[in-house]
Amino acid sequence: MIFLKTLLLGFLTGLTAFFPVSSAGTLVIGAHLLSVPLDHRLFKAMMLGIFLVLVFSFMNDLIRLFYSLTGIIRDLISNLKLYLGSRGAQTDYVRILTGNYRNFLVMLLTALIPLILLGLILANAASAVFQNNLITGMMFFITAVILLVSSFMNVPEKGPRQMKYPEAVIMGVFSGFAFIPGLSKIAAVSSAGFLCGVSRKLTVKFSCLLSMFCLLLILLPGRIGSIFTAEVSTGIPGCIFGFAASFGAGMLMIRRAQKLISKENNKIFAGCNVMLGMLALLMQMLAR
């Protein structure tokens, strides 16, 4: 029976991971409803499934970003050699930020700075939320408000070359706060992008890649090993079931989710967050 519940919980997590709904918050609620002990191994197994979905889905982008990074490093070294060889005389340096992917990479790296800092600062706070449905419910409501505000924005077609550093920082800050369960990473970053005037298509891709780095921080050893009070009862088979279900559901939904977020407004997703928030608050009241 526990394997069936774990399979259902993993499927639910993967189903919501790429929509503007917190997969971690949904996982907390689902674990309570299904009476599944949410230990750190099961949690990380499901997050690993979502992480791998992002890696496979954005493999081409990751490869191009890697080549862009090596190109930037190569050009920086060339400029340094030119500077040292010219002995201070004026010379023509190689332009660094050429092409969309180089600009996109720099914006992504800029957003990672506040993301990592907030991830480290909020680690203990996020850990406490896993044991508190009240705060999780409030985070769902905050996500709904963010989505509603961003749904009324008239978004221009601002691409990677038009993005500014402050906009990348804002998106990184929103992503950093989304470590708290109930506050969706996709919703936070995409809403920040919409508010900054970044095009929907670029914002969705930016939010997915930032979510991948968020998951990587969560998966690092020692990050969340002490936040769960439940004993490990699902075992390795249960973790495999949870991983397979979250990965399968994620692969099934990621492209559909991207199309919906890119083309539709966020009012429907805001309503989903409100319902999940009410469910979390109801569970908290019944637990007393």
**pLDDT of 67 higher than 70:** yes
70: number of CA atoms within 13 Å, CB side? 5
Looking at residue 231, what is its pLDDT? 46
Looking at residue 198, what is its pLDDT? 79
Exposed (0-12), middle (13-18) or buried (19+): which is 176, by Cβ within 10 Å?
buried
Separation between Cα atoms, residue 115 and residue 119, nearest integer Å: 6
Of 9, 86, 32, 12, nearest in space to 279 by CA = 32
What DSSP string describes 115-165?
A: HHHHHHHTHHHHHHHTT-HHHHHHHHHHHHHHHHHHHT-----B-TTT--H
More confident residue, 227 or 273: 273
Quick: pLDDT tens for 224-252: 444 444 444 567 787 888 899 999 998 98
In sequence order, what are the beta bridge partners of 198? 158
Quick: pLDDT tens for 143-182: 888 888 777 766 566 777 778 888 889 888 888 888 788 8
Looking at residue 89, what is its pLDDT? 63
Looking at residue 247, what is its pLDDT? 92
Looking at residue 115, what is its pLDDT? 87
Quick: pLDDT tens for 83-134: 777 665 666 777 777 778 888 889 899 988 988 888 778 776 666 666 677 8
Computed over its alpha carbons, how large is the radius of gyration of the chain?
20
More confident residue, 266 or 13: 13
Exposed (0-12), middle (13-18) or buried (19+): which is 287, by Cβ within 10 Å?
exposed
Cβ atoms within 10 Å of 32's Cβ, excluding its own? 18
Looking at residue 221, what is its pLDDT? 67
In sequence order, what are the beta bridge partners of 158? 198
**pLDDT of 9 higher than 80:** yes
Residue type, 40: H
Least confident piece of the model among 117-126, 148-157, 195-204, 266-275: 148-157
| Average pLDDT over the chain, rounded to an integer | 80
What DSSP string describes 51-71?
A: HHHHHHHTHHHHHHHHHHHHH
Q: Could you tell me if 191 and 252 are in contact, meaning their C-beta atoms sit under 8 angstroms apart?
A: no
Looking at residue 139, what is its pLDDT? 86
Identify the band that residue 7 occupies on the pLDDT scale cut at 50, 70 and 90: confident
More confident residue, 10 or 264: 10
Q: How far is CA 198 from CA 14, 19, 192, 266, in A?
A: 27, 19, 9, 16
Q: Could you tell me if 239 and 36 are in contact, meaning their C-beta atoms sit under 8 angstroms apart?
A: no
Domain ranges of the chain: 2-86+98-287
Looking at residue 52, what is its pLDDT? 93
Helix boundaries (H) for the chain? 2-16, 23-34, 40-57, 59-86, 100-121, 123-129, 133-151, 165-177, 185-195, 200-219, 235-263, 267-287
Looking at residue 232, what is its pLDDT? 47
